Structure 1
Amino acid sequence: MSQTLADDLPDGSGTKALRVWLKSSGYARRLLLGESGDPWADGAAKYLSFFSQARGLLRADVAEVDLGDLFRSWVHRHPALRADMASKKRVTYPLRRMLEEEGPRQLLDEVTEAVAANLQAQVPMVLVMPAPGAWLAEAQQMVDRPAEVDDDAVEDAAMYMADFLRCVSARPVGGLLVEEGASPGPASRYSPILNAAKHYRWAVVGRDVSPESAAVFDATIGTDASAQGRDVSLDLFGQGTLPDIGAGQFAFAEIPVGHAPEAVLDAIAQLRG
């Protein structure tokens, strides 16, 4: 394995290291901290303790740090920020104001430094973030507004997100996972994020992207057979039949939050074959 995601993405030769990518933050949080637990609440040391325990349980080929979780925690614990996010009527303002906040930037910088030291370059550290349109909608909903998303607002959101990523540009981040919402956005408007990632030499993977957007990503994750990352979550945890994973593909699974630990371990063992 490598600390750089681009080096581990399968290329059809069968020699690359990435075989199983697990999304597990919700499940691990419930299991290790309880229903209301928050690994982001008490600084980088607490987060690292949570991260190392979760990694010890699951041993995935990718180590995720979820930026959506970071900001949900921060906004929940800082009502003054939430009020400020609601103070202007522009569609993009809640997300812009949230991402400008200095506290989450400092915390993420400390967390990525600690996580990288813990990983010792054994697997890539990947930052997980909602796609621009999805995050734009979520930020509006945080301040009790109906979600309004259009292409121009998506491009502005991508610009704010790219600016935010500068706070960890000096850390050994391996790549980005951009997760679409129910309606995949126009990835042609994601250029600020894609250009920043290219500058930092981070691979960018898109989850649940539209077919016409797939080409802008280094890899995609989805249920379609053509996706480099085959999302087998429903088959794996719903007692379905796992699809064949080709030499140029890897398996991706999101662990259900409420799944029993024994069943999770059995499912992962099945996935690894």
Structure 2
Amino acid sequence: MSDRLTALLTSNDKTPRLLLDAADYAKRVLLQDKDVPWSDATAFSNHLSSIQMLLKPDVALIRIDQLLQDELAHNTTLLETMAAKTRTGYATRTMLGDEALKEKVRDLVFTASKTQNAPVLLHLSSPKALLITADRAANPDSDKSFDDDSAEFAAVYYADWVRIFAEHRIAGIIFDERTELTTDEAYQPIRNTAEHYGWLIGHRGEDSLDFGEDIPTVPVVGADFWDGSGDVPTAQALFSEVPADAVPEQVLERIKEIREQGQAS
């Protein structure tokens, strides 16, 4: 699957490839602000297919980081286990080691990826962001900070955790670096796992999505684009998050403009 994604990201076609994060937008428009069905793999698969049919992006993106956040908001048993010890990284290690959670995520991705014609990308928090999220969920009063060594520790467990997708039809994983940067060195265990399974690893920043030196940097189209005021960068591929409050008619019109602009150039 990564070969297909690589071909999309390096294509010389005039029409740019669209990578969209439409999770919050789809929750409002398609689910009418109801909860995303993270606990029902079939229902989530149908929801993802609805996003793809509506917006027609070239890649299907699954926000696994939002699934984990939902679990931390509702799974009191897991939270109690994570809070049992306060040593650095214990909450993250415990969460990633939870077998029931692994099975839930594995089943959801397996079911959803089977139904998609487009390459499937998973979206996760950076290792350092994951440390903070797990720590604050287990200990709401915590103000603990995490250094690069702690992030490397988390990346080791992350690298093992993502092996649950070994038999799945995914093309790669995007790590969100917008709030908490993790050093390039810390990602080495994750890269090793990804290379073994043939996945691409992407790093999402405010202005770009980077898949490494062999693939052109993917510009990020800002939120203002969706209200009609932003310009479209010229690139082989574009990434954008569709705002939750975007107007559906404008969203479809702007996607049409991207497609037509590429064809006209």
Q: TM-score range by the shorter chain?
A: 0.7 to 0.9
CA displacement 1:238-272 (0-9 Å, x = unmatched): 543414313xx311110111222222212222222
Which letter maps to 1:107?
K
**Matched position secondary structure for 1:231:** strand
Question: 1:2/1:102 Cα in 2 relative to 1: closer, same or farther (>3 Å)?
Answer: closer
- Alignment counterpart, residue 61 of structure 2, candidates 60, 64, 83: 64
**Matched position secondary structure for 1:190:** helix
- Alignment counterpart, residue 117 of structure 1, candidates 108, 114, 117: 114
Structure 2: state its 5+ residue gaps: 261-265
Question: 1:215/1:59 Cα in 2 relative to 1: closer, same or farther (>3 Å)?
Answer: closer
Question: 1:215/1:62 Cα in 2 relative to 1: closer, same or farther (>3 Å)?
Answer: closer
Kept in 2: contact 1:159–1:193 (CA 8 A) = yes
Which letter maps to 2:10?
P
Q: Which residue is 1:92 aligned to?
A: 89
CA distance in 1, matches of 2:118, 2:244: 24
CA displacement 1:120-179 (0-9 Å, x = unmatched): xx3211111111111111111222122521011100111111111111111111111111
CA displacement 1:191-212 (0-9 Å, x = unmatched): 111110011110111111899x
C-alpha RMSD over aligned residues: 2.6
Which letter maps to 2:28?
R
Q: Which residue is 2:244 aligned to?
A: 257
- More divergent stretch after superposition (46-55 vs 103-112): 103-112
Question: 1:244/1:256 Cα in 2 relative to 1: closer, same or farther (>3 Å)?
Answer: closer
Question: 1:85/1:203 Cα in 2 relative to 1: closer, same or farther (>3 Å)?
Answer: same
Number of residue-to-residue matches in the alignment: 258
% identical aligned pairs: 28
CA distance in 2, matches of 1:158, 1:16: 38
Question: 1:215/1:74 Cα in 2 relative to 1: closer, same or farther (>3 Å)?
Answer: closer
**Matched position secondary structure for 1:33:** coil
Q: Which residue is 1:5 aligned to?
A: 5
Matched ranges for 1:1-273 at <5 A:
4-10=4-10, 14-15=12-13, 19-41=17-39, 43-119=40-116, 122-143=117-138, 144=140, 145-208=142-205, 219=215, 228-246=217-235, 249-273=236-260
1:30 is displaced (CA, Å) by 2.0
CA distance in 1, matches of 2:31, 2:197: 34
Which letter maps to 2:203?
G
CA distance in 2, matches of 1:271, 1:57: 15
Kept in 2: contact 1:85–1:97 (CA 8 A) = yes
1:97 is displaced (CA, Å) by 1.0
1:39 is displaced (CA, Å) by 1.8
- More divergent stretch after superposition (32-41 vs 82-91): 32-41
1:103 is displaced (CA, Å) by 2.0
Structure 1-normalised TM-score?
A: 0.85
CA distance in 2, matches of 1:141, 1:38: 23
- More divergent stretch after superposition (83-92 vs 30-39): 30-39
1:110 is displaced (CA, Å) by 1.8
Structure 2-normalised TM-score?
A: 0.87
1:15 is displaced (CA, Å) by 4.3
Kept in 2: contact 1:230–1:251 (CA 8 A) = yes
CA distance in 2, matches of 1:46, 1:244: 35
Tell me which stretches of 4 or more aligned residues in structure 1 moved more than 3 Å: 1-4, 15-18, 214-219, 238-241
